[in-house]
Structure 1
Amino acid sequence: MSLRPWLIAFRAITAREALRFVHQRERFLAALVRPLVWLLVFAAGFRAALGLSIIPPYQTYITYETYIIPGLCGMILLFNGMQSSLSLVYDREMGSMRLLLTAPLPRWFLLFSKLCGASFISILQVLAFLAVAAAFGIVLPLWGYVAVLPALLIGGLMLGALGLALSSFIKQLENFAGVMNFVIFPMFFLSSALYPLWKMAESSPLLRDICAVNPFTHVVELIRFALYLQLNLAALGWVLLTALVFMALALWGYDPARGLVRRKG
């Protein structure tokens, strides 16, 4: 079987995602403004209140701004994954999603190509954020900027698959926007993005356990260790497992025999 149709489809879908992003410049600015507000405003206020001990992968005491950098990278992946899935709901209402899913290629490949396109854009946004953070004096290990790329890709695919699964079960655009808020904020705040797990355990062991099973926590830790040239195998395994689960849910939801595509038809 020739790979040419697969490559053409992959390039077309990812190029469409890139064009959509280019024509939505405010989306790029919003992706930078959100983490920069946390970095430059909230972190300055929390710096004195939150003391951070030496924890892996750090070899010395760090500032609070340095600690939250991986969490803010994860925030960009999370918001972009949800926004990309929001566009899927719009495409379905406009009818273009139906055309995509009727292409003579496996549905899993078409959806995976959509995820890859969104993940590539997320990586560019994260790199832009890291460049701005470096300009404000938060410099990470040089090779960490390269080592983090696979972690960003895997994390972006997992969070994009979550958004894809949600979009497959939601009929209307306005409903998806509401669901996003119920997913994004609990995932972000109930994670290690802003506070280490040992700090959570001091206030509530139950809260710490909830954060420990949150898939977003493991995305953040995967990024954190990668930035310091280390591999967190536990985080990698959990992220890959949840990515497969969310992708399976998305495929089930977009199955014409059972999912929303059939009901809309």
Structure 2
Amino acid sequence: MSWFIALRAILHREALRFVGQRGRLVAALVRPLVWLFIFAAGFRAALGLSITPPYQTYITYETYIIPGLLGMICLFNGMQSSLSLVYDREMGSMRLLLTSPLPRWWLLMAKLLAGTLVSILQCMIFLGIAAIWGIRPPVVGYFAVLPALLVTGLMLGALGLMLSSVIRQLENFAGVMNFVIFPMFFMSSALYPLWKMREVSPLLADLCAVNPFTQAVEMIRFALYGQPNLPALGWTLLALVAFAGVAVWGYDPARGVQSRKG
């Protein structure tokens, strides 16, 4: 029972933080909306798209990038949630939380789940705005995409958690995020299909294919049309386990990086 009490407390704390930081929701939506309303208009004329699964006909560029923009929301929110961990550690509240008698991995996973639920809320609001704009996946997609967003948010949040376990200063974490977020986002299928990338550079296309963010975006893309993408789901879950495992090890005072740096 104490485990679930701690989980509820961490979820409640994250919800209060989200409600208290109203600009956080606006900032999370501005980035994808700029891509949807402004950049997509220019890319639509320059980038041709063929009929590829899960699409059954030709689609507009705005429709194509919706899954990538959902992934963008999860990516930036995962990094921001981990940034708050670095801040909490500097202020001492994180250190107090980790001294709890509960297993450290449970506390970290509760924090990870809380940040992911915030990401899902932001993604659903974005899908609502896209629907008003005229971009509407099948109705079943709004329900089928929820598990895909959950796995994506957990994987990207675990990546941020892993980074926060080895970075002690807030300023350093902000710099490292730029070396993680932008390569991960642009070297993926979020903005352009991999076959288009392969026409330019087969090596770059292969690097994009092994990018966990690419697999997460493709999982979301198929889920929006009510279709499973089991290979993408498998690779995303594998990345989640790997990132979470390293993060838990990094926060372990007996073996992790934190003990050596402390």
Same fold (TM over 0.5): yes
Alignment of 1:113-124 (within 5 A): 113-124=110-121
Task: State the number of aligned residues.
Answer: 262
Identity of aligned residues (%): 75
Contact 1:123–1:149 (8 Å) recurs in 2: yes
CA deviations 1:127-165 (Å, max 9, x no partner) are 000001111111111110011000000000000000000
Query: Which of 203, 222, 225 is 1:225 aligned to?
Result: 222
Structure 2's unaligned 5+ residue stretches are none
1:167 aligned to 2:164? yes
Give every structure 1 segment of 4 or more consecutive aligned residues whose post-TM-superposition deviation is greater than 4 Å.
Answer: none
Letter matched to residue 125 of structure 1 = Q
Q: In 1, distance between residues paired with 2:52 and 2:101?
A: 50
Matched, 1:209 2:206: yes
Shift of 1:263: 4.4
Q: Find 1:32's aligned residue among 23, 29, 32.
A: 29
Cα distance between partner residues in 1 of 2:148 and 2:225? 12
Structure 2 counterpart of 1:154, one-letter code: V
5+ residue gaps, structure 1: none
Superposition deviation, residue 259 in structure 1: 2.8
Q: CA RMSD in A?
A: 0.9
Residue of structure 2 in register with 1:158 after alignment:
155
- Tell me if the contact between 2:166 and 2:258 (Cα under 8 Å) persists in the aligned partners: no
Output the CA distance in 2 between the equivalents of 1:219 and 1:52. 20
1:18 alignment partner in structure 2: 15
Aligned residue among 88, 109, 115 for 2:106: 109
Q: Is the 8 A contact 1:171 1:260 kept in 2?
A: no
Contact 1:35 1:76 in 2 (8 A): yes
Q: How far apart, in 1, do the equivalents of 2:261 and 2:203 lie?
A: 41
Tell me which residue corresponds to 1:71: 68
Q: Give yes or no for the alignment of 1:180 onto 2:177.
A: yes
C-alpha distance in 2, partners of 1:261/1:66?
44
TM-score normalised per structure 1: 0.97
TM-score normalised by the chain length of structure 2: 0.98
2:239 is aligned to 242
Out of 1, 8, 12, the position equivalent to 2:5 is 8
- Equivalent position SS for 1:47: helix
Give the residue type in structure 2 aligned to 1:231: P
- In structure 2, distance between residues paired with 1:233 and 1:139: 24
